[in-house]
Every structure is written in structure tokens, then in C-alpha cells.
Structure 1
Amino acid sequence: MIAIVLAAGVIGSAHSADDATAAPFKPIESRGYGTRNESEPPRYVRRASETGYESLSDLDWLQVGADYRARFELRHHDYRNGTDSDQPLLLRSRLFVGVDRIIDPLRLGVELQDARIVNSDAPNTTRDIDKLDILQAYAELYGRDWLGSGEPVRLQVGRLAFEYLDRRLISRNPWRNTTNNFEGFRAVFGSHNGIGWLDLLAVKPVLLDADEPDNDDKGRWFYAAIGSYSGWQQVVTLQPFAMLLEEHRNGSTPLDRDVYTYGVRGYGVFTSGFDYDATFAVQAGHSAALDTQAHAGVVEVGYTDTRPWKPRYSASIGYASGDRDPNDDENNRFNRLFGFGRPWSANDYHIWENIITPKLRVETRPSRDLQWEAGYSAFFLESDTDSWSVASRRDRTGQSGDFIGHEADTRVRWRSSPYLEIIGGYTHFFPGEFTRNTGPAPDSDFVYLELNFQLFK
């Protein structure tokens, strides 16, 4: 419960974004690649009074937004499903409506999502398909000063979608066509725009159904305490966390599993242009008759040049333990919980388990509306007796080596108007010794073009 102790001690000195009398404070955001959390409500949402429509100018209590994404992919030799060639078109629509201020302390929010895929030869999965369903539907009690510290408190209940930390353990899956969400309760103490905050979660993951309404997973509960303290942000912003995933099932495939995850994230941005972001986590618990003992970490260091294009150069190393011995009574494979695949791999080949991956990256901004980036990554099994799970490959003897391969990728993002962003990318995967020794091992190519539309600028 390190998160509760640290964060609770600083909430009294945090400043709320909604409190006009509070002293100004702006927490520094990490510059780590792909670590920026989605806002709440999402970035495509605007207050009705700020949409530019005169008829809505008085509706400062109404939040509205609509977002549409279309992504064409060309995949050649896809290791995820074994297809030689595929040209899917992924389509996703979102709509958000929220009410606040006018009926405080009660606030309401609803977010709908429709996710589909067409023209694909790969098997359909809920990674890509979740036809019109409720992504969020919640009621919130909002108190400006319920604890007497001048800091806000938010109590939410219902269906929720959120992300925390560097998104590697809890994410809304910005790349994937569908989204992680949960049903249950969340308490937020302090403002996420303040010096300190503490969030408590008691939720059930939602089971996605491609064609029918989604429902919560009756056999799983997820609890978390996540804190943040930015009072030392000239050196470090600290975010400790404690999480518990419980899974208890009866029936034909019974399961009794508890996964405890403890860790801390720290990041900083310096006036010299250097920045860093580091997360370390350990896991304990049990899964049936197996004890869980796992650990993981990721460290990224970057430097942003002062030249007009503002290039940022970064190097990182990611690590997650794998199962050491398939015949012992321990499970050492790290569980990434509800984290996302990118930026582990630009073509979705790798996740945060049984992996060691060094990376180099450059990101530039030639103009305000144009970004370009490129990277190189190498991938190794942390345990050569455990699996490369995304490709369903494993050598329990450990005789096939540990080098999965390496990957080069590039991406361009262009905001052609306030309403439209165009993204294009290319990734090439070069197979390594482990891949060649465990099955077919062709080079793999991935090209995509994505269009993102939002209703309001």
C-alpha cells in the first residue's frame, strides 16, 4: 500500500484545476515515447459552448464529441496469425456526451463505440470487432472540498475506461481497434492537474462480444491504488502503485489465480534537454498450484535538441521475466494486466512478457502540424524455455536460442486541418535464431494509412 501512504500525504497540498482560488501549478508530462495518458473526458471531446456554434454558446455544462478512425493495413507474412498476405480495413467510431456543473455534485458521462473490420483473411477477434456498444456509462459525485483540504474528490460508478502510469499496465489501447474497459467503482482524491493525487479502483474487466452487448467478467476483480507526487518534479515525479487481479472460476475449466503487482514509476524533464522515464514492478501470488514470482522494468532516456525541428533522440531497454522452468512449481512469466502493445512493437508482435528489448528512436516536428519518427528495436526471450506468445512459439527445452529478431519502423503524422489527422507508417521485421528454429521464418512487412476525423476542432 505504498501508493496510499505517499499520495495521501501530499493531496492536501495539491491544487485543483476547478478551483479558481488555487495557486497555479502545472505538472510536467513525461516525454517518454507513447506514454501520454488519454485525458478524461477523451481529447476529442469539447464543451458545447466552445464548439463555435452560436446556438450552443450557453451550454458550458454539456460535453460533446465524435471521433471516427479508418485504417487500411497491408500485412505480408503476419506472425500473429500465419497469414501470407492480408489487406484489412479497420473502422472505429466514438461518441461522447457528458453533463457536469449544472447538477453538481452529480455528473454523468456516456461514451459509445462501434469497431469493425472488413476485407480481412485473418480470423475475426474482439481485438478488431465490437459492434455498437457502451464503452463508458457512469455517474459521478464531484466534491470540491469534501475533505477540507481544498482539493476535489470524484466518486465514480458504472462502466469506465481509463489509463494510468506509462500505459504498460492499464491502457485504453489507442492503437487497437477495440478498447479495455471495466465496470465498478473508482475514487479519485486530488486533481490530476495538481501536485498530488490518489486513485482507488475496484472494478471487473468487461468481456467484449463482437456482436452482442458486452458484459462484465463475473470471474475476475481488479483492485488498484495508484498515486502521484509532483512536488519534486524538477528532479522526479513519483507514481507508486499496488494492484491485485483476482480470478476465480468453476465449471469445466476451473481457475484460482491471484496476481499482486507492486511497483513505482519515476520520470523527469530537465532544462538541459534531457529526460527520462522508468518503471519497475514485481509480481507475486499464485495460479492454481503454481506460485507467481515475476518482475519487469523499462528505462528510457531522451534528449531534445534546440534546433528548429526539435528532434528528440532516445534509447530504452525493456525487460519482463519469463517462466524459467516449465516443470517446476513456479510461474515466472510477468503478467502485463491491461497494458497496450505499442510501443513495444510497431507491428503488434510483442507485449510486456518474457522479453528483453533495447530500442533506439528519433522523433522530429518539421512544423507544428507535421511529425516524423523512426526507430530500431531488437527482441530477445528473457527465458529461452518460455514462449513468444503473440506468435504462439515455444521450445520448452531452450535449445532454439533466445533471439526473436529485430524491427525497423517509421511513421509520419500530419494534421491537415483541425478536424483531420493523417498517419502513415511502415515496419519491417527481420527474424532471428529463435524464430528460424521454431517454424517458418520469412521477413515480415507492415504498411498502413490511417485517417482520424473529429467533429469539433
Structure 2
Amino acid sequence: MLSKIACLRGASLPVVVAAGVWSVPAQAADDGLKLSGAVRLRYEAIDGQARVGFNRSDALLNTRTNIMAQYRTGAVLFAVEIYDSRIWGDDTGTPVTTAEVNAIEPVQAYVSADILAPFGQGSKLTVTAGRMMLNLGSRRLVAADDYRNTTNGYTGVRADLVAPQGIRATVLYTLPQMRLPDDPQALRNAKIRLDRESFDLVLWGGLVSKANMFGTAMGELSYFHLGERDAPGRATRDRSIDTFGGRVIAEPRTGRFDYEVEAFYQTGHVSASLAATAARQTVSASFVHADIGYSFAGGWKPRLSIELDRASGDKPGGDNGRFDTLFGMRRADLAPAGLYNAIARTNVMTSGIRLEATPGKRLDWFAAYRGLWLAARQDSFASTAVRDMSGRSGDFAGHQLEARLRYWLIPSRLRYEFDGLLLAKGRFLRDAPNAPAGRWTKYASFNVIASF
């Protein structure tokens, strides 16, 4: 069942490794060259844009093509993957950023190897070096975003350990790729320029998990440090953020309750603005996600769940309380990106209910409702940039209904996807001083994905 659960609970992409001194397999069944890829065509439209500064109504055609070449010889794997992300139909009021456009970019170019039994029988160490995509843990902090038209890439070294008794660990030191070009006209023209990585932006840390730690539930601990500083021609918030996290998750099983609880706390320092002379602020921010669900028996495999998310916002005072989701995905928990892109994991509190089902091998769908509030009423709401510094517009942002349907037109080769969303704006999104006019936001996207 490829659903919200699959998106959140999947392990990282197949990875990488540098050769070591321990014994490795002499021959792998899949030795040789392998080519794969996909082309996604998306038409999306919005009416009643909730974000500040963009067209009230808009439409956009997106294409995303990725081609991957892998060559394996024994325990060593070489891989290169090219992404090409472009748009058509934009105008001066269309939100066009590096989240939409990144032309002909080698997002991945790595070498990896498997090292068997470095810590006893049944253990395996995998080490990766080069450019890579990352999907770690719940993907709420470090992910290769899939709904978005572009993806996240990271350059560095990663090590993955599988040990006996259900223990897994990942450690990494990476330089997140800064997508280029990033000036508006070059983006709209889809200029080709290699993304840049440097020690001006660093992400390092890792996580460790153990299966069946609490009954059948897995326990996980994580820590990530993000370090950022100004570079020539690139002003930043000079972030130095430490994020500590913990997660407990019981996977869905037919006829059983399942659940997930994850919490993060952030500390460190950031600049109050992009100005070189901006004051430094102490970071104290938090995030929590919780859901409980039940999977019913039957051919449709329905699962009903109740969900809660809260990411802190910035309150008056000297500290920075706005949670930073780093490089996390948002689609599985909150809402689509693209032209909508209004709900992010920062200054938001939301609770809701979700129903998902897989009626057959070709078809899956979900529908969800959630209420939306501000965690801090003086801060801007999520990623809308709508703000009332007086706090007099209240903290209720609205009611959000969304649905997704996916159908394999040709199994494993051609899939159709529809995403639809309706936001009934609450008092805050109607009355805040800079809130875009209108009471409703309507969004839809139609996607065709061809894979080979």
C-alpha cells in the first residue's frame, strides 16, 4: 500500500559504500549496468491563492525527468542520476523558485560498497561517498522531496549499519546542494548551471533505531546539526541549529491499531534577518507529530487514522521560536507543495482525520480533513507569509479538505495521479492585515508518470 504510511515509514534509498578490509561478496546476481528513469507531466491550477505576493488564480505545467545509471561489480556500486525539472505557462506573478526549476542536474553521483560482518555475524556496513539523495527516518527533517518538481541533493559521506537484534544506524556528513541558478529570470528561462555545494552550508548527524523496542514498536533517536554562513553574493540567516529527536512507531497491521509519535527540539542561534549586522537570536523551537490508526480487514484494505501536528512559532521576545524543518518533506503529513505550498512544518498546529484504501493492485486513494491553527498568533502562518503582529486576527487559519487518487494505467510503467484540495479560510487568513482576498482556496493537480 503506497500511501501516507509508506511515505513516512520507508527506509532510505538504496545506498552506497566504500570498500573496506572485511570480506565482501565475490559476485552479485545483478552485476553489470542498469538503466532506469521516469518522466512526470503535471498540470496544476489554483484559485484563491493563500500565500502573499502571488497571482490570485494561476496555472502551471511542470515536467520532471530523471534518468539513473548504475554499474555494480561485486560489492561495489557506481551510480549517476540526472534530474531535469522545468515549467511552462508562468507569468510575473507565478511563484517560480528552485523548488520548481532545476535543469539537467546530476543530483546523484556516488560510489558505494557493502562490508559484511564488521561487527559480528549478521551485521553489514554500507558506506557512501559522493552526491546522493537522502531519506532518513520519518523524512520530516531530511528527505528527497518527491511531490515537489525538484528534489534535494547532498554531497558527502554516509555510513549505514545493520546489526543483530534489529539495530540500525546511519551517520553522515554532507554539504547540501544549493540549487542554481536562483535568480528569477534565469529560473524562468531554465538556464543550466551546476548546483553548488560548499562548507558554507553543512548538515551532519545521524539516527539509530531498534525494532521491537516497545512490544512490536520500533524506537528511534536522532540528532542533526545544520551550519550555515554568508557566502559571496548569498546572504543567509547564519543558522547554527541542533535538532534532537525521538520516535516510536508501530506499523499498520490488518485488524490492529497502529501509532506513531515523533518529537524534535531545536536549539542554537540564527540571525534576526539577512542583514550582515543583524542581531543573533537564541533558538528554542519544537515539533511534535502523533497519529493513531486502525487497519480494517477486507479487499480494500482501509485504514482510518487520527493525526496531530504542532510546530512552534515565533513569539514576542528575544528568542527565535520558529521551528525549522531543515530539508524535510511536507506532502505525506500536511499538504501538496507546488502552486499551493501554503502549509509547512513551522508555526502551525493541526489535527485531523484520514481515510486511505487500496481497492486493488492498480488503485489507491486517500481523503483527509484537518483544522489549522497558528501555534503563535503574532508570527506568520506556516509558509503563507500572512501575519498580524498585533495578534488581533486570532489563531484559527481554516479547514482543509484534500484527496489523492492514483491508478496504474499500465502496471509498473504508466500511472495517473489526481490531487485535489479545498481550504476554507478561517478568521486569521481572512482578517490579517496582509491576507490575500477571498474566503476559499481551491487547488488541483493532474499527473501522468511514465517509468522505465
Q: TM range, normalised to the smaller chain?
A: 0.7 to 0.9
Q: Work out whether residues 348 and 382 of structure 2, in 8 Å CA contact, stay in contact via their aligned partners in 1.
A: no
Aligned equivalents of 1:344 and 1:255: distance in 2?
Answer: 25
One-letter amino acid matched to 1:440: P
Give the root-mean-square deviation of aligned CA atoms.
Answer: 2.4
- After superposition, the C-alpha distances for 1:401-423 in whole angstroms (9 at most, x for unaligned) are 11111111122111121211111
Quick one: which of 437, 445, 448 aligns to 1:441? 437
Q: What is residue 97 of structure 1 aligned with on the other side?
A: 69
Match of 2:118 among 146, 153, 165: 146
Name the structure 1 match of 2:417: 423
**Cα pair distance change 1:453/1:36, threshold 3 Å:** farther
Q: CA deviation at 1:425?
A: 2.3
Asked if residue 358 in structure 1 is aligned to residue 315 in structure 2, the reply is: no
Q: Which amino acid aligns with 1:198?
A: A
Matched to 2:346, the amino acid is E
Question: What is the deviation of 1:33?
Answer: 6.9
2:300 matches 1:331: no
2:99 maps to what in 1?
127
- Letter aligned with residue 196 of structure 2: N
Indicate yes or no: 2:236 matched with 1:239.
Answer: no
Instruction: Sort the Cα spacing of 1:255 and 1:402 in 2 relative to 1 into closer, same or farther, 3 A.
Output: closer
8 Å CA contact 1:341, 1:348 repeated in 2: no
Unaligned runs of 5+ residues in structure 1 are 1-28, 43-57
Match of 1:345, SS state, is coil
Inter-partner Cα distance in structure 2 for 1:132 and 1:298: 36
* Residue type of the alignment partner of 1:143: I
Percent of aligned positions with the same letter in both sequences? 27
Cα distance in 1 for partners of 2:242, 2:314 equals 17
Shift of 1:377: 1.2
Report how far residue 305 of structure 1 moved.
1.0
Are the counterparts in 1 of residues 110 and 131 from structure 2 also a CA contact under 8 Å?
A: yes
The reply on whether 1:83 has 2:55 as its aligned counterpart is: yes
Match of 2:397 among 380, 395, 404: 404
Does structure 1 retain, via aligned residues, the 8 Å contact 2:31–2:71? no
Match of 1:35 in 2: 8
Partner of 2:20: none
Q: For 1:62 and 1:234, locate their aligned partners in 2 and report how far apart those are by CA, in whole Å.
A: 42
Q: What is the TM-score normalised by the length of structure 2?
A: 0.85
Q: Does 1:209 align with 2:209?
A: no
Q: Measured at CA, do residues 454 and 31 of structure 1 come closer, stay the same or move farther in structure 2, by a change above 3 Å?
A: closer
Q: CA deviation at 1:134?
A: 0.5
Find the counterpart in structure 2 of residue 302 from structure 1.
293
Q: Please tell me whether the aligned partners of residues 31 and 276 of structure 1 are also in contact (alpha carbons under 8 angstroms).
A: no
Name the count of aligned residue pairs: 408
Matched, 1:275 2:258: yes
Worse-superposed segment, 443-452 or 213-222: 213-222
The match for 1:64 is: 35
Q: 1:340 aligns with which of 324, 329, 332?
A: 329
Per-residue Cα deviation, 1:23-65 (whole angstroms, up to 9, x for no partner): xxxxxx99737414375349xxxxxxxxxxxxxxx86443321
SS in 2 for 1:394: coil
Cα offsets for 1:384-407 (capped at 9, x unmatched): 011125221111221111111111
Q: Displacement of 1:171 after TM fit? A: 1.2
Judged with a 3 Å threshold, the aligned counterparts in structure 2 of structure 1 residues 31 and 433 are, in CA distance, closer, same or farther, namely: closer
The Cα of 1:273 is off from its aligned counterpart by 2.1
* Corresponding residue for residue 266 of structure 1: 248
Whether the aligned pair in 2 keeps the contact of 1:356 and 1:382 (CA below 8 Å) is yes
Whole-angstrom CA distance in 2 between matches of 1:431 and 1:33 = 30
- The secondary structure found in structure 1 opposite 2:260 is strand
C-alpha displacement at 1:147, in angstroms?
Answer: 3.4
Conserved? CA contact 2:254–2:296, under 8 Å: no
Q: Is the 8 A contact 2:403 2:419 kept in 1?
A: yes
Question: For residues 163 and 225 of structure 1, what CA distance do their matches in structure 2 show?
Answer: 12
Question: Partner of 1:228 in structure 2?
Answer: 209
Q: Secondary structure at the match of 1:324?
A: coil
Q: Is the 8 A contact 1:311 1:363 kept in 2?
A: yes
SS of 2:429's equivalent? helix
- Please, what TM-score do these two structures have when normalized by structure 1? 0.84
Q: Is the 8 A contact 2:313 2:376 kept in 1?
A: yes
Structure-2 residue corresponding to 1:22:
none
